[in-house]
Amino acid sequence: MINVIKGKVWIFGNNIDTDQIYPGRYLELTEPNKIATHAMEGVDPTFSKNFKSGDILIAGDNFGCGSSREHAVITLKELGVAAVVANSFARIFYRNAINLGLPVLICKDACLKIKKGENISLNLSAGILTSLETGESIQGEKLSDHVINIISNGGVIPMIRAQLLRNTKK
């Protein structure tokens, strides 16, 4: 089960909406690898070229506001974003992220205390973000075992599929 995630940080501000995460003009794209090339393009047009799989996003308030489309989460997950940490999330984005297996952690002021490029560790079940460079820890909201199970399985559908397979083998 996924519980600890480590990665390099990218910092974003408040009210990063789904059109900034994945601009609506690309909605006709259907292949996840092509969708990923436009990740965060509305905020930083060079982001997907400079991003390394396993990196972590940290943002301010209301990350993922705007549209309820799953494309924003699909974009980040396909690019290889290991987790998103924010002061707060738009409710539908937060739920879409969990349903699709993208770890999200609410952690107040992480974007003020952690610097871009810093390496961090996230303990999802404890809700703790730790700078691997300074050793400073910030308490966030813990994720339940059920949510961690969903994320560990890659999302709700893969989790249910795995449960059904286990049940048919009994």
Query: Tens digits of per-residue pLDDT, 62-115?
Result: 999 998 889 999 999 999 999 999 999 999 999 999 999 999 999 998 989 999
Residue 136's pLDDT is what?
95
**Strand-pair partners of 128:** 123, 139
Residue 136 φ/ψ region, left for φ over 0, alpha for ψ in the -120 to 50 degree band, beta for the rest = beta
DSSP type of residue 107: -
The topology under which CATH files domain 4-169 is Aconitase; domain 4 (3.20.19)
Percent of the chain at pLDDT exceeding 90: 85
Helices (DSSP H) in the chain: which residue ranges? 18-21, 32-36, 47-50, 71-79, 91-100, 110-113, 145-152, 156-168
At 170, the pLDDT band (50, 70, 90 cuts) reads low
Residue 109's pLDDT is what?
87
Average pLDDT over residues 15-43: 93
Residue 3's pLDDT is what?
87
- pTM, full prediction: 0.94
Question: Which tokens in the block code for residue 83?
Answer: 């987790």
